[in-house]
Amino acid sequence: MLIAALILSLVLGLFSTIRYRKVFNPFTMEAYFTVLFMIVPQLFLVTTSPNPEYYFWSDVVIMIYIVSIFAGTLINVNSFKLKPIENVHTVNTLNILLYAALVAPLIPFLLSKGISAQGFRAFYETVVFSKYASFYELSKLVLYFLIFFKLINRQRFSFGVLILFPLVFFYGSRFVILDFIIYLCVFLEQFRDLSMRRIIAVCLVGAAAILLYSTYQFTTARLSEMLVSYFDIYRNQAFVINKLMDGDIDYFHGEIYASSYLKYIPRIIWEGKPKAFGFAILNYAIFPEKAAKGYMPSFGLGTAFADFGFISIVLIGVMGGFIRNFFYRLFAKSKSNLSFFLFIFPFSFVTNFFILFYIFVDFLLTRWSSKKDAPSNQQLNVTDP
């Protein structure tokens, strides 16, 4: 079943690449994580698992999700041309100030762990379970805005970009680096018209960089644990789906998804923020004692399945594909910085808040500039003596 899911993903990915004439298209941008981290690493289990039927419903969920994403990309709605942010320098100055404010509380954590690949990993594992976890999440988003505002505005790798780029390694997470490489590939493919061959070459270099970085982050034993953890995602997904299918636990009817937005509220602001929110609700329901000690394994698509079952998977897949396709069409028409961000980032309240903030600031600056440059009333009403 899992091999069938991989073949299905590759066929739909190839069809989408031909359709959009781009490697990084709405389908691949929405489905890559499931393929790379939920299908490919788990293929070893096809031959090693003593009980392959245990994963049957989990594989069905993966295939339904992949097909749902593709179906969503087929829904076309007329898009429009989106005006870019014009006052990029001022907006990015604000971003620098905001970034500095967000990372300031994180610096002591980083310095205490040491400036090394292993230190960065220890920093990540510490800060994400601290009251400054929201600062960590928001700061990396602002960093992406900083880098790509500069890249799109200059259309080249400026000195400022070269200074900011290494910061992605300080976050200690391979996914931060992976996201950056994918966003960079979209920029190169869309704005610099790099060929498919060169885009694939960039991806291979990026993959090698992540692998090399990971080898320096972990000891051999820890690296083995990390690789095993990817198999755990698949096992955990099958575990929770089977539990729900057998009626051993009840569905959560949207509680998991609705509460996931609490992660953006810093605990330093809301000390009483519940510990069980988002995917953690599932952890506390299944492994209450381990969850209380900070053990929070990922359940993959099982987290979405736990809300409304197959309905959740179809709705999330279709909506994800539809939204990504809509913003891609908007991006294709506009080729602006704002449309770029709408396409590359997952649709969420936080990214939308930042984008609306940038639009508001740009509007005020443009209006102020136009008033400043307009002739005064005295000059317009000058009459002959």
Q: Is 223 exposed, middle or buried (0-12, 13-18, 19+ CB in 10 A)?
A: middle
Domain spans in the chain, listed from the N-terminal domain onward: 1-220+310-364
Q: Which residue has the tokens 């899992």?
A: 2
Q: How far apart are the first and last CA of the chain?
A: 91
Secondary structure of residue 258 in the 3-state scheme: helix
| pLDDT of amino acid 384 | 44
Cβ partners under 8 Å of residue 50, min gap 6: none
Tokens of 167: 């910061």
Q: Are 321 and 26 in contact (CB under 8 A)?
A: yes
Say how far apart CA 254 and CA 316 lie, in whole Å: 12
Burial class (CB in 10 A: 0-12, 13-18, 19+), 231: middle
Angle, CA 71 vertex, CA 65 and CA 77 arms, to 5°: 135
- Tokens 């009251």 label which residue? 131
User: By CB neighbour count within 10 A (0-12 exposed, 13-18 middle, 19+ buried), where does 17 fall?
Assistant: middle
Q: What pLDDT was estimated at residue 146?
A: 94
Residue 13: partners with Cβ closer than 8 Å, 6 or more residues away: 27, 28, 31, 35
Sign of CA dihedral 90, 93, 98, 99: positive
What is the b/e burial string over 194-217, where b = at least 16 CB atoms within 10 angstroms of the residue's CB?
Answer: beeeebeeebeebeeeeeebbeeb
Q: What angle do CA 137, 138, 139 make, to 5 degrees?
A: 95
Q: Give the pLDDT confidence score for residue 347 in this predicted structure.
A: 84
Residues 6+ apart with CB under 8 A from 311: none
Both structure tokens of 358: 């940038």
Tens-of-pLDDT digits for all 385 residues of the chain?
788 889 999 999 999 999 999 999 999 999 998 888 788 877 765 555 556 677 888 889 999 999 999 999 999 888 788 889 999 999 999 999 999 999 999 999 999 888 888 888 888 888 887 888 888 989 999 999 999 999 999 888 888 888 998 899 899 888 889 899 999 999 999 998 888 888 888 888 888 888 887 777 766 555 555 555 555 778 888 888 998 888 888 888 888 887 777 766 766 677 676 777 777 787 777 777 766 666 667 788 888 898 889 999 999 999 999 999 999 999 999 999 999 999 999 888 888 899 999 999 999 988 887 777 666 555 545 444 4
Residue 45 has which token pair? Answer: 């289990």
How far is it, in rounded angstroms, from Cα 172 to Cα 174?
A: 7
pTM score: 0.83
pLDDT of res. 9: 93
